[in-house]
Amino acid sequence: MAELDLSGFLKDDACFAEHAKKGKCAVLTVGYCIGHDNCAFYKTEEQVKTEQEKVFKRIASLPYDDQKYIAKYHYGGKMPWYVKG
């Protein structure tokens, strides 16, 4: 008997944009998850966190005035990448 492949249903394999109970996509306008094998936007929560860290590191390397501009227009005036120290 062949073993069932449940990888698409495991929590570790869940897409960051999929609403767990509803199965709806928070990114696309299709209204439902089309499955991670068919979706170019599929990312795990871990991938999203890693990418966000890279983005914050890049923004933090910019001149302060550029950081303020990005914060104002994209982060509601907050600078979540700014680390005091």
- Three-state SS for 74? helix
Q: Give me the tens of pLDDT residue by residue for the chain, a chain 85 residues long.
A: 344 343 444 455 678 777 666 777 877 787 777 777 888 888 888 888 899 999 999 999 999 999 999 999 999 999 999 876 5
Rounded to the nearest 10°, the torsion over CA 78, 79, 83, 85 is -70
| pTM > 0.75: yes or no | no
